[in-house]
Structure 1
Amino acid sequence: MNRLNEIEATREDEAARAGWLYYVGGMTQDQIAAELGVSRQRAQRLVSRAVSEGLVRVRIEHKISACLELEAALRRRFDLQTVRVAPSLGEGGDSARATAPLAATVLERILARPEPQVLAFGTGRSLSAMVEEVMQPPANAHKIVSLIGNIAPDGSASFYDVIMRMADKLRLPHYPMMVPVISETAEERAMFDRLKPVQAVQKLAQSADVTFLGVGQMGDDAPLYKDGFITLAELRELQRAGAVGELVGSVYDAQGQLVHTPVMARIGNYRMAAQRTDPVIGIAAGATKVAAIRGALTGKLLNGLVTDEETARSLTQES
């Protein structure tokens, strides 16, 4: 280890110790400063670093009544199997960070099952944040499978790939969807679908015991467009067709009905079907995603949801 790495490791150790003293030891920042032999300001920075870099995980065990009421309202309105509502982080807060701890607890319950499970995953920031919060190791050798390709037109992989992060963290057998997110033509997409490894992954995805999905909006900030998978012209084509949201590349309208345009025939994904009986849980929050979440719930593309207070309140109001 070179000198710079040694210094960074020492700083990280110091931050972890400060976080432990604050959250577990119940010490004040003045007491931490005295214990570590640093200034109060440095103690404060160390505690902040411990949280921001994930060295300390904070979860609230108390059931906040306002969140419970929203969970009940969402369950009644959309006939959901699973609903968890996290406290909002306020204006400017990161919605993915708000939902991640709750989503992780839902996933950890699945991982704790003694019988082998097949877990299917989409992609995106919310799911990536969930993976970072998972602390409980699996009780068995579950399988995890991807529902969408992860290869961009330039050959690069998505920064928010979930299945590889999950496999690396939990050491589980994983089955990536080894196709481009979007092919040049529908014929090329069909060629990939005929490959035996792709068919095997599609079959495994169909048998999933539980599915976790991010929900993409279809405004001008649509992930499919922002991440370079479709052009602005193709986004406008989808918007004209009534698109409000997408689940692993399956684009749908306000009623949750899939939108069919030429670009959709080129996307390499597992085609989401409505009204599945096994849990299909969306992890999403934020004002820009409300229409997309509502459409997925209305069309029964999802039967579970993890979101935050503000989003839940908007969903329970009449559209």
Structure 2
Amino acid sequence: MSTRPDPEPSLQDEAARAGWLYYVGGLTQDQIAQDLGVSRQRAQRLVSRAMAEGLIHVRLNHRIGACVDLEKALTARFGLTRCRVAPDLGPGSDGVRAIAPAAAAEFERFLRMSDPLVLALGTGRALRGMVDAVSDGIAAEHHRLVSLIGNIAPDGSASFFDVVMRLADKVRAPHYPMPVPVISSTPEENAAFHALPPIRRVVDLARQADVIFVGIGQMSDDAPLLKDGFVTREELDAMQAAGAVGEVAGWVFRRDGRYLEVGTNRRTGGVRVEPGLDRPAIGIAAGATKVPAIAGALTARIVNGLVTDEPTARAVLALAG
């Protein structure tokens, strides 16, 4: 029986990527260091290791080569600022498990920056996987973490996949949860929550975020919003009829990436990620059912960066044409 490759990035993985960027991509060692988030000296050692271990021939003799090709194709097609494609773990594998280490590495790049940042986060399984994969021991007290989405479930309990408090406990950063329902019962109730001064301060902070990390949820029959009890079957049917294919931070959008003006969007708490932001807005998502949602979010530039896996990357490119 063959074994599946480990999703955790190894030293050889880093050397393979550095070698590909140097010998095939034509990047300088300074550019490679910036791309990988390492020192120039480490980038130089990684390039040397790639050659010494025989990873570089006419083409890269390593599974990461296909990932880099897909990253380049997605970046060119959608004008992305950042893109990471994790290796395929095989049929039936968990997409979150595949992409969590790569997503954590992307997030750690910002955590390690010396200038203070406001880091805004959505919720969901992919974001929780990313947070769980973030390395221990990163000092991030100079950054602030803020939630983009409400953290109150329909029964009044805390939303299970809220990640801001979990991450703050791990990196010891000040954090600002969004203490409103994910989706309120009425637009008036939602407006009343947002009129409260403490909520307004959190909303203002989220809107000023320097960096955004969000999951991308599908609006098919297995929609996370339905499975987690935030929308009813009837509400989902109505939004599907209006063209809904995906959601980011609870805000539902169509195939072309335009947000719906009907349905639960009139009652969604938190802050909507506006298309075309001039700062990093990175989507973390993988899986066949998410492909239309990812393509829509990329097309409208709700997100301008992406962490996904090989099968999803190929499917998104095929759908986009």
| TM-score band w.r.t. shorter chain | 0.7 to 0.9
Match of 1:80?
A: 80
The residue type equivalent to 1:308 in the other structure is D
CA offsets per residue over residues 165-221 of structure 1, 9 Å max, x none? 101111110000110111111100000111111111111111111000000000011
Aligned residue for 1:133? 133
Matches within 5 A, 1:137-156: 137-156=138-157
Counterpart for residue 299 of structure 1: 300
Q: Distance in 1 between matches of 2:141 and 2:270?
A: 27
**Cα–Cα, structure 1 residues 90 and 260, in superposed 2: closer, same or farther, change >3 Å?**
same
Aligned partners of 2:215, 2:161: CA distance in 1, in Å?
Answer: 11
For 1:190, what is the secondary structure of its paired residue? Answer: helix
Is 1:311–2:293 an aligned residue pair? Answer: no
Spell out, residue by residue over 1:262-307, the C-alpha distance to the aligned partner (whole angstroms, 9 max, x if none). Answer: 4221111202211001000000001010000000000110100000
Task: Sort the Cα spacing of 1:248 and 1:318 in 2 relative to 1 into closer, same or farther, 3 A.
Answer: closer
Q: Distance in 2 between matches of 1:206 and 1:180?
A: 18
Q: Match of 1:68? A: 68
Cα 1:301/1:124, change in 2 over 3 Å: same
Task: For 2:112, give the aligned amino acid.
Answer: A
In 2, Cα distance between the equivalents of 1:229 and 1:185?
13
The 2-side partners of 1:157 and 1:140 are apart by: 25
Report the equivalent of 2:120: 120
Q: In 2, are the aligned partners of 1:111 and 1:140 still within 8 Å (CA)?
A: no
| C-alpha distance in 2 between matches for 1:106 and 1:158 | 25
Give the share of equivalent positions with the same residue, in percent. Answer: 55
The code of the aligned residue for 2:150 comes to G
Aligned letter for 2:186?
A: T
Partners in 2 of 1:199 and 1:107 — Cα distance? 26
Gaps of 5+ in 2: 1-5, 18-63
DSSP 3-state at the match of 1:317: helix
Contact kept, 8 Å, 1:217 with 1:246, in 2: the verdict is: yes
> Does the 8 Å CA contact 2:120/2:147 hold for their aligned counterparts?
yes
Q: 1:58 deviation in Å?
A: 5.4
Contact kept? 1:115, 1:140, Cα under 8 Å: no
* TM-score w.r.t. length of structure 1: 0.81
* Distance (whole Å) between structure 2 residues aligned to residue 296 and residue 58 of structure 1: 27
Partner of 1:91: 91
Aligned counterparts of 1:168 and 1:283: Cα–Cα separation in 2: 21
| Contact 2:140–2:171 (8 Å) recurs in 1 | no
Query: 1:250·1:264 contact (CA, 8 Å) conserved in 2?
Result: yes
Contact 2:96 2:129 in 1 (8 A): yes
Structure-2 separation of matches of 1:158 and 1:190: 20
Of 263-272 and 58-67, the range deviating more from structure 2: 58-67
Q: Structure 2 matches for 1:1-319, cutoff 5 A?
A: 59=10, 60-61=13-14, 62-63=16-17, 64-135=64-135, 137-319=138-320
Moved beyond 3 Å, runs of 4+: 57-60
Letter in 1 for 2:215: G
3-state SS of 1:244 partner: strand
CA distance in 2, matches of 1:105, 1:266: 34
* Distance (Å, rounded) in 2 between the aligned partners of 1:117 and 1:70: 30
Corresponding residue SS for 1:80: coil
Counterpart for residue 33 of structure 2: none
The aligned amino acid for 1:224 is L
Displacement after TM superposition at 1:156 (Å): 1.2
Letter in 1 for 2:100: A
Tell me how far apart the structure 2 counterparts of residues 173 and 140 of structure 1 sit (CA, whole Å).
7
Do 1:114 and 1:140's aligned partners in 2 also have CA atoms closer than 8 Å?
A: no
Shift of 1:161: 1.2
- Mapped to 2, the partners of 1:211 and 1:289 lie a distance apart of 19
**2:9–2:102 CA contact under 8 A, matched in 1:** no
Aligned mates of 1:295, 1:138 — CA distance in 2: 36
Give 1:105's aligned amino acid.
Answer: A
CA distance in 1, matches of 2:65, 2:264: 44
Structure 1 counterpart of 2:61: none
Q: Which moved more, 1:197-206 or 1:260-269?
A: 260-269
Partner of 2:180, secondary structure, is: coil
Provide the C-alpha distance between the structure 1 equivalents of 2:170 and 2:161, rounded to a whole number of angstroms. Answer: 15
Note the C-alpha offset of 1:138: 3.0
User: How far apart are the structure 1 equivalents of 2:221 and 2:190?
Assistant: 25
CA distance in 2, matches of 1:212, 1:308: 17
